Structure formats: C-alpha cells, structure tokens
Structure 1
Amino acid sequence: MTVTIRLATPADVEVLFDIRTSVVQNHLSREQLAALGITAATLADAMRHAPCCWIAQVHGAPVGFAMVDVDDGEVFALFIRPTFEGRGLGQALLDSAEACLFQTHEVIGLTTDGGATIRANGFYIHQGWTLVGAVDERDVRYEKRRALLPPVVDDPRW
C-alpha cells in the first residue's frame, strides 16, 4: 500500500467534505456541518490563513484528512474513509497535526464525541492524549503536552 501525506489546499475542499460525510461514527451531513459554520468558504479561508490540513492518499486517492486550528492549538478534524480504517493513516495524519501545533503551543487539545462506543476515544488515548473532562452532555475534551527534550549534558565523557 503506497501512502502519502500531503498538505491540503483550498482546491481540496470538496474532497474533505466527501471524506467527512463518508464516516459512520460521528457522521454529519453537509447541512449539519453548515449549521456549525463549517462550509467550503470557511475551510478554504482557514487553509489560506495557515498550513492547517493534511490529506492521506493511498495509491494517489484521498482517503483521510486531519485539520487543525493553528491559532487555538486545536485538532479540529481527523477522519478516515471507513474502508481504510485500521491501517495507520489516522496516526500518520495525527502526527502531522501535532507537529504543526507543537511548533507554537505547549499544550494542544481536541474535542470529540465521548460516547462509549466511539472508537476515537481509545485511539486518542493510545496516541498519548489525556481525557480532561466533559465539554457538554455528549462531547469530551482531550489534551496533549509537548514532550520535553532531555537536558543536554555538557560532559566530555558522553
């Protein structure tokens, strides 16, 4: 399986919506997304503001994406087409998102459906995220702290 992760551009907006509306868990329609303020225009504007979205491709076909809010230090979205789940694509996309956010934030966050059957919760915990609490009756918040580098030892014996 040939996998590439590439930076998305405003020209990819329809691909993002196609992937986002293909998921089974945490599914939202275009109309529901628009009601939340997530439109083609808002996504394109975000991508023009800063590099903030990555697409996973398998043999050149887009199968997943991750998007961040650079200013707020938040992972905004991470979705994989159902037929490509469990192949490490989510981890690869999350790595790109985290690397971007940790350039300017020591602590980053994300919000997701906290339902017991939602697999994303186990995924984020497995990736080193910490559940910090409920956001509302449905959603929960996770945070992750930038790893500290070991101290530099200025000792000629090392």
Structure 2
Amino acid sequence: MIFREAKIEDIKQIQVIRNSVKENILSNPDLVTDQDCEEFLTQRGKGWVCEIKDKIVGFAIADLKEDNIWALFLHPDFEGKGIGTKLHKIMLDWYFLNGKENVWLGTSPNTRAEKFYRKAGWTQNGWHGTKELKFEMSKIQWQNLQNG
C-alpha cells in the first residue's frame, strides 16, 4: 500500500472510484468534472491517493478555500482495510498545518461514511442542504484526538 499526493494524471482513476461507490452516489456523474478535480488538487487544496499494485483504490481531497473536505472515497472492494482512516489522518494533519482552525464536510445520513466520521471524532452540526448531515472538526479537537 502506497500513500502519496494526488497528481493530475490520477484524475481518471479518481473519477472511476468516485463513480463506483455504493453510498453518497452522485445524482449525475457529470456534476464532478475532471476540471473540478484538477482545480481542487492544484488551486483550492490538495489530495492524496492510496495505491495498491499501481492502481488507485482510494483518495481524499481537502479544500482550503471553502474550509471543507471535498472528498474521501474508497473503491468498495477496499473498504474496511484502514485505507480511509490513513487518508483521513494524512489529509487533516496537512489541513491543520496550513493554518486552518476549522473544517467541515457533508455526508448522507445512515451511511458507512456517517459512522466513520462519528467514530473519527467529528461533531454533527446540523444539515448541509436538505439531504446531507454537516460535520465539523476544529484544530483543537483534532490535536486532542491525536494525543489520545
């Protein structure tokens, strides 16, 4: 398993993973374009991937502009192996090292993602739109969780 920063050349594989998920499915796959991915990776924030045998199996992208987690997805065949937890840690460590104090994300209720974020220490704070739960994490919360 190799964890590394995402590159523009990874976007095609990132899109395959994003469209392979069983939960938090995009209503229209065209809503997230390759150009969107490139903007988030190069201008708005940074991303990371997990590779196994030269194939990307998961990715995470943080958005410094809107102070949110834009994406954290795994190919369904690779869930439950600790990959999401590792990507999550790499991403939040980087995010908070960049001078940010708070971050938020939205995810569908009653999903594995909701359980993942609750277990990881995120605080639910209402709704994002009408269909997603809104979770927040502060730098202090993250530091306390890391110090156990």
Deviations 1:78-124 (A, max 9, x none): 1101110000000111111111221221111111112x2x1111100
Question: Are 2:21 and 1:28 equivalent residues in the alignment?
Answer: no
Deviation at 1:45, TM superposition (A): 2.5
Q: Is contact 2:74–2:84 with CA below 8 Å preserved after alignment?
A: yes
Say which of 41, 48, 52 aligns to 1:58: 52
**SS of residue matched to 1:52:** strand
> Residue 4 of structure 2 corresponds to which residue in structure 1?
6
Instruction: Return structure 1 stretches of 4+ with deviation > 6 angstroms.
Output: none
Note the residue ranges of structure 2 that are not aligned, 5 or more in a row.
Answer: none
Question: Are 2:116 and 1:123 equivalent residues in the alignment?
Answer: yes
CA distance in 1, matches of 2:127, 2:26: 21
TM-score by length of 2: 0.87
CA distance in 2, matches of 1:17, 1:41: 11
TM-score by length of 1: 0.82
Larger relative helix fraction = 2
Bigger mean CA deviation after superposition, 69-78 or 141-150: 141-150
Within 5 Å, give how 1:41-120 maps onto structure 2: 41-49=35-43, 52-103=46-97, 104-114=99-109, 116=110, 118-120=111-113
> Residue 134 of structure 2 corresponds to which residue in structure 1?
141
Deviation at 1:137, TM superposition (A): 2.8
CA RMSD in angstroms comes to 1.9
Bigger mean CA deviation after superposition, 7-16 or 95-104: 95-104
Q: Is contact 1:75–1:110 with CA below 8 Å preserved after alignment?
A: yes
CA distance in 1, matches of 2:112, 2:62: 20
The structure with the largest alpha-carbon Rg is 1
Deviation at 1:73, TM superposition (A): 1.8
Q: Is contact 1:107–1:145 with CA below 8 Å preserved after alignment?
A: yes
Note the residue ranges of structure 1 that are not aligned, 5 or more in a row.
Answer: 151-158
**Which amino acid in 2 is paired with 1:49?**
Q
